[in-house]
Amino acid sequence: MPKNTESWFVARAIKQCGFEIIVSFADTEQGHIGYIYQATNWLYCGESKKQKYFRLKSDSKNNGGTKYRRRERMPKAKIIEQYGEEYVEEYYSSLKHRYIYFNANKKRKKELMGKLRYQVQDYPKN
C-alpha cells in the first residue's frame, strides 16, 4: 500500500464513526506497539491488565479446536457442563497497549481530558 494509507483510513473512519470517545488496543503478544495510533495522535494510556479466562484443553474431546475457539469464550461452568472438569484450562490474556481518541471539538476534548481516569503516558517504542 502507498505510504500513509493506514493513517488516511483511520482518519476517515473516525470522522464517520459518530462516537465521541474511541478506545483501541495494540496486542503485545502479536508484537504490536500501536504505531498507527501514535501517527494519528491518539493518547497512550498504558497497558491493560491481564485477564483470566477459561478454555477447553486442546487435547480433549475438542478434536483440535473445531468445537471451541478462543474468541468464543465460555464461562468455566459451561465448559465443565459440556466437556467435564478435567478439560478446563485457565489462561491469561496478553498485555495490550491502550490508546484513546477524543473525536470532538477542542472545548469538548478539554472537558473529556478532565474526566479521563487513565494517566496519559509517552508512547511506547520497540
Domains of the chain, residue spans: 1-49+94-126, 52-92
pLDDT of residue 63: 47
pLDDT of residue 117: 95
pLDDT computed for residue 66 by the predictor: 44
Question: Distance between CA 116 and CA 112 in Å, rounded?
Answer: 6
Rounded (5°) CA angle 13-109-47 = 70
Per-residue pLDDT tens for 54-111? 888 765 454 444 444 555 667 888 888 888 888 888 888 889 999 999 999 999 999 9
Residue 40 near residue 7 (C-beta atoms within 8 A) = yes
Mean pLDDT, all residues of the chain: 87
Predicted pLDDT of residue 72? 60
